[in-house]
């Protein structure tokens, strides 16, 4: 009897985890505030931005990328129809998110973690809006306020959805505080299977002791902001990944950019000037060759780019 492979949901439907291939585990296609989009015509020209995203993602596809994980939370402007359009046009698998961003919003205060988790569970089990596209991963985030009471409620909601559905969790952290430590502690408290968690943006740090501390919990870490030179130069990021590979941690790292084809945080021309390599093709074009030049084996590179994403989506725990 042939073994049935685990599947992961994508914008184009479920695929076997073995078909994920080279995967960028932390990206965004379009980030644009829905309140602004709803109130101001032309706030973002989606008819112009979708083709730009297609062209950018096709460049990564030409360099071997088969799948990306879009980690745009609901309240950061998740746009499932644009995700679908870009995935259809490129043939690149896009694993879609559910979950809420760290930003404190008035409507969230009146609801507890169980209530908030219901929205995530619906996205995972039933699908997003009227598309039938099911979320394949839960996004949660802690930023400069750290894991305060409000943020901990969002982490608990994510944990409830994770336990109910088995979907993995991927996070946003900052290196300026202890949010990664506090996220791990909260996930332990809330019964999360840490082997199904990617603690994000750890590549903004070159503190090997700190990174090993987080890795010791059995989670994955995201070395996932390549191209954001203002936070840490590429050569330092490469050396940090290489050092951790040499210490035996290739099996717990994923490599990506946290790039956006369009985002409304800054003017697009400004982004092109301060982060010209902040794009989907930077890792396969520049970073992977730099890791190889630093002595990292193709086996370790494949582990980070292919095997680890497959592991994240293969196991369906913790129920």
- Domains, the chain, ordered by start: 7-314 (3.20.20.140)
Above pLDDT 70, what percent of the chain?
A: 97
The chain-wide mean pLDDT, for the chain, equals: 95
> Per residue in 166-215, pLDDT tens?
999 999 999 989 899 999 999 999 999 999 999 999 999 999 999 999 99
Between the alpha carbon of residue 243 and those of residues 19, 202, 238, the distances in Å are 29, 14, 9
Given pLDDT bands bounded at 50, 70 and 90, which one contains residue 319?
Answer: very low
> Per residue in 25-37, pLDDT tens?
999 999 999 999 9
User: Does pTM surpass 0.85?
Assistant: yes
pLDDT confidence of residue 274 = 84
Q: Is the dihedral of CA 318, 6, 26, 217 positive or negative?
A: positive
Cis ω for the linkage preceding 317 (within 30 of 0) = no
Separation CA 175–CA 299 (nearest Å)? 29
Between the alpha carbon of residue 79 and those of residues 154, 160, 225, 278, the distances in Å are 21, 24, 22, 21
pLDDT confidence of residue 1 = 41
> Per residue in 189-200, pLDDT tens?
999 999 999 999
pLDDT confidence of residue 269 = 82
């Amino acid at each position: 009897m042939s073994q049935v492979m685990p599947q992961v949901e994508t914008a184009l439907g479920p695929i076997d985890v073995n078909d994920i291939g080279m995967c960028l585990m932390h990206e965004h296609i379009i980030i644009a505030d829905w309140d602004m989009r709803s109130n101001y015509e032309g706030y973002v020209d989606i008819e112009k931005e979708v083709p730009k995203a297609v062209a950018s993602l096709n460049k990564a596809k030409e360099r071997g990328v088969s799948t990306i994980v879009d980690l745009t939370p609901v309240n950061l402007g998740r746009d499932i129809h644009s995700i679908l359009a870009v995935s259809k046009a490129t043939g690149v698998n896009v694993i879609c998110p559910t979950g809420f961003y760290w930003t404190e919003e008035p409507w969230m205060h009146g609801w507890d973690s169980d209530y908030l988790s219901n929205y995530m569970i619906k996205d995972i089990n039933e699908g997003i809006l009227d598309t039938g596209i099911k979320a394949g991963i839960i996004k949660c985030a802690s930023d400069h306020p750290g894991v305060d009471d409000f943020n901990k409620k969002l982490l608990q909601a994510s944990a409830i959805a994770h336990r109910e559905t088995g979907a993995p969790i991927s996070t946003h952290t900052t290196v300026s505080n202890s949010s990664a430590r506090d996220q791990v502690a909260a996930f332990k408290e809330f019964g999360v299977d840490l082997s199904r968690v990617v603690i994000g943006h750890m590549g903004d740090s070159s503190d090997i002791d700190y990174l090993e501390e987080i890795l010791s919990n059995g989670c994955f870490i995201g070395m996932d902001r390549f191209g954001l030179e203002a936070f840490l130069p590429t050569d330092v990021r490469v050396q940090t990944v290489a050092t951790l590979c040499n210490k035996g941690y290739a099996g717990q790292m994923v490599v990506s950019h946290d790039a956006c084809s369009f985002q409304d945080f800054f003017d697009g021309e400004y982004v092109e000037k301060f982060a010209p390599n902040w794009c989907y093709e930077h890792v396969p074009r520049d970073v992977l060759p730099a890791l190889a030049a630093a002595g990292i084996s193709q086996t370790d590179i494949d582990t980070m780019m292919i095997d680890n994403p497959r592991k994240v989506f293969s196991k369906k725990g913790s129920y």
